[in-house]
Amino acid sequence: MIPINTLYVALRRASKFDNFCIGTAIIWKYGYISQSTYNNRMPKMNFCPNCGGALVDLGRDSHPVCERCGTTHWRNSKPTAGVLIENQHGELLIVKRAFEPFKGEWDLPGGFLEPGEPPEAGAIREVKEELNVDVQLTGLLGVYMDVYGDSSYEYTLNFYYLGFITAGTIQAADDVGEAHWFSLENVPATMAFAHDRDVMADWKKSRAGRVDGVSSSILSDK
């Protein structure tokens, strides 16, 4: 194992050239942080990508500031988008996560948005990547705050849409290990992320204004 001070210098140089992840990978490879720790949270930036100076962090609700050049690094919530996919029977498609964080736990299909990507487009893309199907969105269910994995400093802003499948055959891929249809009465009691509870509660409420709990858009499409 190489000396930690050598890794420290390498990390500072990597961050100076806006490549902090390389430094993180070096430390991971040589055993200073475990894979499970890395997978359960987003890597925390400790050095300024502009000059390599140390970042002063006053807590998760503040923005780190470089002690050398004074640059503020904005800790904005990271946007995600997902879809509550229903079928003509009023069942909901729920997936089992294939990777950390929360590997093996139930979740809703979706993921992080690409740079400049609208939430609707991101939701459709994520479903295609994870389940190999095309979906039509019927409306926005809600927007929910959370943190990612066991991180206490990386907030997420999560957009969730209602939708249904228009083409393709369900095939678990990417971050998804399994996918199953659940009736309202049989949805999993616990799910991966804290905000999933609020999403599921709002989904159940949304069914009250629909024909037998099924969207009129789904019925008309069949």
In a domain, residue 126? The reply is yes
Q: How many domains does the chain have?
A: 2
Most confident range, picked from 13-17, 29-33, 69-73:
69-73
**CA end-to-end span of the chain, whole Å?**
62
Tokens 């929910």 correspond to 144
Residue type, 209: G
Please tell me whether residues 46 and 143 are part of one structural domain: no
Q: What is the DSSP letter of 76?
A: P
Cβ pair 190, 141 in contact under 8 A: no
Cβ pair 104, 96 in contact under 8 A: yes
Please tell me whether residues 25 and 132 are part of one structural domain: no
Please tell me whether residues 62 and 89 are part of one structural domain: no
CA distance 63 to 51: 17
Please tell me whether residues 56 and 89 are part of one structural domain: no
Mean pLDDT over 115-133 rounds to 98
38 has pLDDT over 70: no
Q: Which helix (H) or strand (E) holds 98?
A: none
What residues contact 159, with CB distance under 8 A and at least 6 apart?
A: 79, 80, 81, 82, 119, 122, 123, 140, 143
Residue at which a domain ends, from 66, 92, 107: 66
In a domain, residue 72? The reply is no
Calculate what percentage of the chain has a pLDDT beyond 90.
58
Residue at which a domain ends, from 66, 88, 106: 66
Please tell me whether residues 89 and 147 are part of one structural domain: yes
CA distance 15 to 8: 11
Residue at which a domain ends, from 20, 40, 66: 66
29 has pLDDT over 70: no
Residue type, 119: P
**Strand intervals (E) in 90-206:** 92-97, 106-107, 110-112, 133-147, 155-168, 176-182
Reported as a pLDDT band with limits 50, 70 and 90, residue 214 is: low
Cβ pair 95, 104 in contact under 8 A: no
Cβ pair 87, 165 in contact under 8 A: yes
In a domain, residue 71? The reply is no
Mean pLDDT over 131-142 rounds to 98
**Strand intervals (E) in 29-149:** 55-56, 65-66, 78-86, 92-97, 106-107, 110-112, 133-147
CA distance 200 to 211: 19
In a domain, residue 168? The reply is yes
